[in-house]
Structure 1
Amino acid sequence: MKNRMELFENAPVWKAYFTISLPVVFSMVVTLVYNMVDTFFVAGTQNASLVAGVSQCTPLFMLMLALGDIFGLGGSSLISRLFGQKDDETARNVSGFCFYAAIVCGLIVTVLMFAFQGPVLRVLGATSDTLKYASQYYFWIALGAPLIILSLTPSNIIRTEGLAMQSMIASVAGSILNIVLDPIFIFTLGMGAGGAALATVLGYVLSDVLLVCYILRKSRHLTVSIRHARVARKFVTSVFVIGIPASLTNLMQSYNIMVLNRHLISYGPKAVAAMGITMKVNMIIMMILVGFAFGAQPLIGYAYGAGNRSRLRAVIRFDLLVEVGFSAVASVVVIVLAPQLIGMFMNDASVVSYGTGMLRWFTLTTPFCGIVLVLTTCFIAMGKAVPSFVLSISRQGVIFTIVILITAACFGYDGIICAQPVADFLTAVVGIFMYSAARKSDQTLRRED
Structure 2
Amino acid sequence: MMAVSSTELGTLPIRELLIKQSVPASIGILFMSVNILIDTIFVGQWIGSLAIAAVSVVLPITFLISSLGMALGIGGSSIISRALGAENREKALQTFGNQIVLTLGLAILAVLIGLLYSEEVLLLFGANGEIMQPAMDFFIPVLYGVPFLALCMMGNTVIRAEGKPKFAMIAMIIPAFGNIILDVIFIKFLNLGMFGAALATSLSYFMCFVFIFWFFIFKSELRLQMHHYVLQINIVSEIASLGFVTFARQGVVAILSIILNHTLYIHGGEISVAIYGIISRMLMFALFPILGVTQGFLPVAGYNYGAKNYVRVNETISKSIKWAAGLATIIFIVILVLAEPIVAIFSKDATIIKETPSALRLVFAASPIIAIQLIGAAYFQAAGKAIPALLLTLTKQGFFLIPLILVLPNYYGIFGVWIAFPIADILSTLVTGFFLKREMNRKLTYVQDGI
Contact 1:246 1:380 in 2 (8 A): no
In structure 1, what is the Cα distance between the partners aligned to 2:356 and 2:117?
39
Q: 2-side partners of 1:385 and 1:201: how far apart?
A: 33
Q: Distance in 2 between matches of 1:345 and 1:137?
A: 19
Shift of 1:433: 2.5
- Measured in 1, the distance between the counterparts of 2:47 and 2:138 equals 17
Task: Name the counterpart of 2:250.
Answer: 250
Per-residue deviation at 1:382?
Answer: 0.9
* Corresponding letter in the other structure for 1:19: K
CA distance in 2, matches of 1:49, 1:405: 24
Q: Which position in structure 2 is the counterpart of 1:64?
A: 65
**Equivalent position of 1:98 in the other structure:** 99
Of 157-166 and 284-293, deviating more is: 284-293
Once residues 349 and 138 of structure 2 are traced to their aligned partners in structure 1, the CA distance between those partners, rounded to angstroms, is 32
The equivalences for 1:379-418 within 5 A come to 379-405=380-406, 407-408=408-409, 415-418=416-419
1:397-443 deviations in Å (ceiling 9; x for gaps)? 22123344555566666554332212111111111222245457746
For 2:423 and 2:282, the matched residues in 1 are separated by: 19
Distance across 1 between alignment mates of 2:128 and 2:357: 34
The answer as to whether partners of 1:66 and 1:248 remain within 8 angstroms in 2 is no
Look up the match of 1:204: 205
1:411-426 paired onto structure 2 within 5 Å: 415-426=416-427
- CA 1:409–1:179: 2 relative to 1, 3 Å: closer
* 1:34 CA drift (Å): 0.9
* 1:73–1:153 CA contact under 8 A, matched in 2: yes
Say which SS state the counterpart of residue 287 (structure 2) adopts. Answer: helix
Look up the equivalent residue of 2:246 and give its one-letter code.
A
Quick one: structure 1 residues 405 and 321, their matched pair in 2 at CA, closer, same or farther if it must change by over 3 Å?
Answer: same
| TM-score, scaled to structure 2 | 0.87
Aligned partners of 1:113 and 1:120 also within 8 Å:
yes
Q: Which letter does structure 1 place at the counterpart of 2:111?
A: T
| Equivalent-residue separation in structure 2 for 1:412 and 1:141 (angstroms) | 33
State the distance in 2 between where 1:426 and 1:211 align. 38
8 A Cα contact 1:439 1:446, kept in partner: no
Task: Using the TM superposition, give the Cα deviation of residue 236 of structure 1 relative to its aligned residue in structure 2, in angstroms.
Answer: 1.2
The alpha carbon displacement at 1:181 in A equals 1.9
1:155 corresponds in structure 2 to 156
Cα drift, residue 25 of structure 1: 0.6
Q: Which runs of 5+ in 2 are unaligned?
A: none
Q: Which amino acid aligns with 2:237?
A: T
**Aligned residue number for residue 240 of structure 1:** 240
Secondary structure of residue in 2 paired with 1:144: helix
What are the residue-to-residue correspondences of 1:47-446 with 2, within 5 Å?
A: 54-124=55-125, 134-186=135-187, 188-189=189-190, 191-220=192-221, 222-223=222-223, 225-230=225-230, 232-260=232-260, 262-263=262-263, 268=268, 275-342=276-343, 345=346, 354-405=355-406, 407-408=408-409, 415-439=416-440, 442=443, 446=447
Tell me the secondary structure at the aligned position of residue 237 of structure 1: helix
CA drift of 1:55 comes to 4.9
What's the CA shift for 1:396?
1.9
CA distance in 2, matches of 1:135, 1:351: 23
Q: What code does the residue aligned with 1:243 have?
A: G
The answer to whether the 8 Å contact 1:17/1:299 transfers is: yes
Q: 1:224 to 1:192 in 2, by over 3 A?
A: farther
Residue 117 of structure 2 aligns with an amino acid whose one-letter code is: F
Aligned pair in 2 of structure 1 residues 445, 198: CA closer, same or farther (>3 Å)? farther
Give structure 1 stretches of 5+ with no counterpart: none
Q: Give the superposition deviation at 1:5.
A: 4.9
| Cα deviations by residue, 1:174-206 (Å, 9 ceiling, x for unpaired) | 221122222333455554433322322221222
Number of equivalent positions:
447
Of 400-409 and 71-80, deviating more is: 400-409
How far the C-alpha of 1:56 sits from its partner, in A, is 4.2
Q: Contact 1:62–1:251 (CA<8 Å) still a contact in 2?
A: no
Counterparts in 2 of 1:413 and 1:144: CA distance versus 1, 3 Å? closer
Indicate how the Cα distance of structure 1 residues 87 and 379 shifts in structure 2: closer, same or farther if over 3 A, else same. same
